[in-house]
């Protein structure tokens, strides 16, 4: 009887040890994954949200800062590849969230260009599908160059290059038609950005004398009579740009007349659209000046293009007359301009 009890105890101990060993063995054979897949869709903390532009680490706080940083790069790409700087900048603003999106901050990728046959560094990011492969650049300017190559080397975008460089509306619509984006509102978003921030002026600076605003008559052609109304009620589709053209007034003047600090408009908003009794120092001086050269002091929002059109000159003539090496201007800067008629 004692032998039987002893045998049962020993058998129980052996079974118990075997079970533990089997469990331990099963756990040991379950190897952890070694590949780390990033699933975070947001950018770095604001304190670390920097990217590289022309070899310099920068933090971009606003759309205006983004445009100021990348306008020269976009103009260079326009010069070499024929893509309007306005279109490139608007796409960059929209697709990178003005440089604050994750791909821009962590990969210097401003156009969401995927890997395809890319052999360089890469980053994984949720887009149309989970964890898609995107190109990673050492400098944002290379993202701009890849954008130019992407459009010029693919046959489906060939129709773009048959359009006039001034026709940013046509470029925006053709990009959508060719399949660049699936968002049906993509063209409208690009056009809105271009008109809100006057990005077409950077096209004019590149084209110089060859520039002709696509949806406007020639400078020397008959000018459409200005509306006699002194106020305008904002309707659907109105923008500061469209109103400035309708009433033959600059966007800056519209802002000043109505005490606006942005180009945002609200349906039903009443705007003053005529300058009848309002004159700036520059306009007062111009009225008293005889034909010939005169001084012009740069005001907020002025560009060489806008000043050249105001005085019926070309950008090149302005630069030559004032011995300017680039298109940069400072508020209050004195320029010589040609006056061909007394106002």
Reading the block at residue 62, the tokens are: 């606003």
Please give the model's pTM, rounded to 2 decimal places. Answer: 0.52
Q: Is residue 270 within 8 Å of 231, Cβ to Cβ? A: yes
- Compute the distance between CA of residue 136 and CA of residue 143 in angstroms, rounded to an integer: 8
Strand-pairing partners, residue 231, are: 272
Q: Is residue 97 within 8 Å of 104, Cβ to Cβ? A: yes
| Lowest-pLDDT choice from 16-25, 43-52, 103-112, 178-187 | 16-25
Per-residue pLDDT at 21 exceeds 70: no
- What pLDDT does residue 149 have? 94
Mean per-residue pLDDT, 63-87: 94
Question: Each residue of 130-175: pLDDT tens digit?
Answer: 888 999 999 999 999 999 999 999 999 999 999 999 999 999 999 9
- What pLDDT does residue 34 have? 28
Per-residue pLDDT at 114 exceeds 60: yes
Q: Is residue 267 within 8 Å of 237, Cβ to Cβ? A: no
- What pLDDT does residue 306 have? 83
Question: Each residue of 79-102: pLDDT tens digit?
Answer: 999 999 999 999 999 999 999 999
Domains and CATH numbers, the chain: 46-210 (1.10.530.10), 216-278 (3.10.350.10), 281-339 (3.10.350.10)
More confident residue, 90 or 282: 90
Question: What distances in angstroms separate CA 131 from CA 66, 72, 110, one per listed residue?
Answer: 27, 33, 18
Per-residue pLDDT at 267 exceeds 90: no
More confident residue, 269 or 163: 163
Angle in degrees, CA 187, 92, 261, rounded to 5: 80
């Amino acid at each position: 009887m004692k032998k039987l009890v002893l045998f049962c105890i020993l058998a129980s101990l052996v079974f118990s040890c075997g079970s533990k060993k089997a469990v331990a063995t099963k756990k040991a054979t379950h190897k952890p994954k070694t590949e780390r897949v990033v699933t975070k869709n947001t950018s770095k903390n604001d304190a670390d949200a920097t990217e590289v532009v022309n070899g310099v680490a920068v933090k971009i706080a606003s759309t205006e800062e983004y445009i100021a940083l990348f306008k020269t790069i976009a103009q260079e790409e326009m010069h070499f590849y024929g893509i309007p700087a306005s279109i490139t900048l608007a796409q960059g603003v929209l697709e990178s969230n003005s440089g604050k999106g994750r791909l821009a901050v962590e990969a210097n990728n401003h156009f969401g260009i995927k890997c395809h046959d890319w052999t360089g560094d890469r980053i994984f990011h949720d887009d149309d599908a989970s964890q898609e492969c995107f190109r990673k650049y050492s400098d944002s300017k290379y993202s701009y160059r890849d954008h130019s190559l992407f459009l010029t080397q693919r046959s489906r975008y060939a129709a773009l290059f048959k359009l006039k460089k001034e026709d940013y509306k046509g470029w925006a619509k053709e990009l959508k038609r060719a399949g660049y984006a699936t968002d049906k509102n993509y063209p409208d978003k690009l056009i809105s950005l271009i008109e809100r921030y006057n990005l077409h002026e950077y096209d004019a600076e590149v084209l110089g004398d060859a520039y002709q605003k696509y949806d406007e008559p020639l400078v020397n052609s008959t000018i459409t009579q200005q509306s006699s109304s002194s106020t305008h009620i904002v309707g659907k589709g109105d923008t500061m740009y469209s109103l400035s053209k309708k009433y033959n007034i600059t966007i800056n003047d519209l802002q000043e007349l109505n005490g606006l600090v942005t180009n945002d408009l609200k349906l039903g908003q009443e705007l003053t659209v005529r300058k009848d009794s309002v004159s700036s120092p520059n306009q007062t001086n111009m009225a008293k000046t005889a034909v010939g050269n005169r001084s012009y002091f740069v005001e907020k929002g002025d560009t060489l293009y806008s000043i050249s059109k105001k005085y019926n000159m070309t950008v090149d003539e302005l630069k030559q007359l004032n011995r300017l090496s680039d298109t940069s201007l400072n508020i209050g800067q004195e320029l010589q301009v040609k006056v061909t008629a007394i106002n």
